[in-house]
Structure 1
């Protein structure tokens, strides 16, 4: 977790939550094969299997507000994993998420893979408050889903073997939960101004075109794409750029009054 106070609480004698049996398990395993840390990037880089458990609240604004799940934290986690990973990873979603979330996260990881292979699995929890520890050690079922490819079929077996070893040894071994929270507006600079379009788009996730200036028609979008985070988005609010040419470069394009980009159609938050 990135919140130091939360990690300090989990490393203290007074745990931040109460669950029957949890205190005994944590005290028995902590420092041996169960560790709480906010050095997320280090542990993600070292891990072979990464379990991601982050908040997925209901969206409060934009498309799907009040109904769709907000996958901001999941997307942030995926981008961080892609940034720090130096070897192949199995990424397991544990959060309560909509259908096709794994596919959407796979796209983000693939766009930022730098040659690293990621296998995305779904492993939903079947734990009830008050009996979570009992349910964990004595599950009536364990579901692990992945792609029906040779690599995708191998990944669940690797994860299942690890879970079986953990349960058989009566211990925990998934020890680096990733939980990202948005930075406070008071601690981050929200807006910066630059006169250079290439500087403005460097390391950006998306571009919003809000005016019909001719300058936007003649920019070197290949150069811009190469300098951006991936996947790279273009929201053309004035229909001034050639969306098909941008898609050929690799952009995901959303243009006013035009059909959704094929990539966007598969995103669960849009459904």
Structure 2
């Protein structure tokens, strides 16, 4: 008998859980979708009448929330209640890198995964399909299965039905900034499992809008490893092109021309060949560290060394850019004002996790610069939280408040600055008024374009010195 899914519960209302469940609710109006989280402020923001205050910014998300919220899409802190009524439960909680203990600095911390599994074991009723949505180490499904099957739960209060669980892996392959488009028209949907009935139930949900040819089914372990590997390969491409950007600057080649030429090769393709300040986001670094840990665990030290280099190039690129700014400004930026345009790790998201901007700003602060930071979507409190950790970690020895100003307008950030550094590829930074900007800056003024999006010729025509990643800046 085919399993009919009527109620879905998603544990975790973050960057994956919120948008994913919103799209499922929109495409499956016959299914009630409940997104739960213990974070009360996050849930309050998801329920805000003012849709501009949603906790996540993604193009297209606001429209779906407006359409489905209160109909078949609900956000609450009622974790136990919604687990009890769910036919299918998605686990979409955070899996940060461990900070201490075995595997510290590399292995994923699975405490929230385990906590979710124990909640499900205690409160679920009847047959329940549990779906891994978080990015997880290989064999995590085994841990979840053991908890669900062997948790010491008092069964006496469940008089009318017994419990049974199946576990599936359904990793997300979203790119922040295009997450809704990725969900609505995915390259592939990957489902790993060993129970045909449960797999079919999840496949049927996606068939409401995804072509069957895009739905791939595998075993659990292949599905879990595919997610880690996909992120590692994407990060590798970014580190590779960034390493060549430095070579271009030294040899007179242009990284944009090189990327276009190699991207035209159908065996390589053009995606993720844009040189920049380094990759960020919640997944790339974390997943590569996890991959390194797994490789070392199985004695594959040469493999782990390979992936370590991807991270080292990424860190080197950020430090290299910071050093270039200092060197171009006569070897010192102490007391100088620098306008930082962009703080999110990429455009069209308000996510700052592992953003290259954080490390570059840290370097500039440590050199004594005064920073004016502007980002169109990242909140004042988020920037403060990301930068104030510098002070709490004792990485600087003077008050950060006197060195950083968060600005609401681009012009406010640029006024009286010695230099502008573009760190996020927001569309509005492509169309800056260089005539006006040049009149507001202190001379000699500099533009550091780490995203290759600014009109350098126009900036130069108004007397601004320019530097762009991956270009012979002495020649141009």
- TM-score (structure 1 length as normaliser): 0.59
- 1:203 maps to none
For these two proteins, the number of residue pairs brought into alignment is 167
Q: What is the rounded CA distance, in whole Å, between the counterparts of 2:139 and 2:74 in structure 1? A: 31
Q: What is the rounded CA distance, in whole Å, between the counterparts of 1:93 and 1:156 in structure 2? A: 13
- 1:264 maps to none
- 1:118 maps to 165
SS of the residue aligned with 2:74?
coil
Q: What is the rounded CA distance, in whole Å, between the counterparts of 1:139 and 1:45 in structure 2? A: 31
- Does residue 196 of structure 2 align to residue 153 of structure 1? yes
- 1:263 maps to none
Question: Whose Rg is larger?
Answer: 2
Q: Any residues of structure 2 matched to 1:1-271 within 5 Å, and which?
A: 1-12=37-48, 13=50, 14-112=53-151, 115-147=162-194, 152-165=195-208, 271=297
Q: Is the 8 A contact 2:95 2:134 kept in 1?
A: yes
SS of the residue aligned with 2:191?
coil
Give the C-alpha shift of residue 165 in structure 1. 2.3
Q: What is the rounded CA distance, in whole Å, between the counterparts of 1:69 and 1:55 in structure 2? A: 10
SS of the residue aligned with 2:100?
coil
Q: Is the 8 A contact 2:186 2:210 kept in 1?
A: no
* Higher relative contact order (CA closer than 8 Å, sequence separation 6+): 1
Q: Is the 8 A contact 2:83 2:124 kept in 1?
A: yes
SS of the residue aligned with 2:168?
strand
- 1:222 maps to none
SS of the residue aligned with 1:130?
coil
Q: What is the rounded CA distance, in whole Å, between the counterparts of 1:142 and 1:11 in structure 2? A: 29
Cα deviations by residue, 1:2-35 (Å, 9 ceiling, x for unpaired): 1221111000022012110111111111011111
Q: What is the rounded CA distance, in whole Å, between the counterparts of 1:52 and 1:89 in structure 2? A: 13
Structure 1 stretches of at least 4 aligned residues deviating more than 4 Å after TM superposition = none
SS of the residue aligned with 1:105?
helix
SS of the residue aligned with 2:131?
strand
Give the C-alpha shift of residue 167 in structure 1. 5.7
Cα deviations by residue, 1:18-54 (Å, 9 ceiling, x for unpaired): 1101111111110111110110111111000001101
- TM-score (structure 2 length as normaliser): 0.34
Q: What is the rounded CA distance, in whole Å, between the counterparts of 1:38 and 1:166 in structure 2? A: 29
RMSD over aligned Cα atoms: 1.8
Structure 1: which 5+ residue stretches go unaligned?
169-267
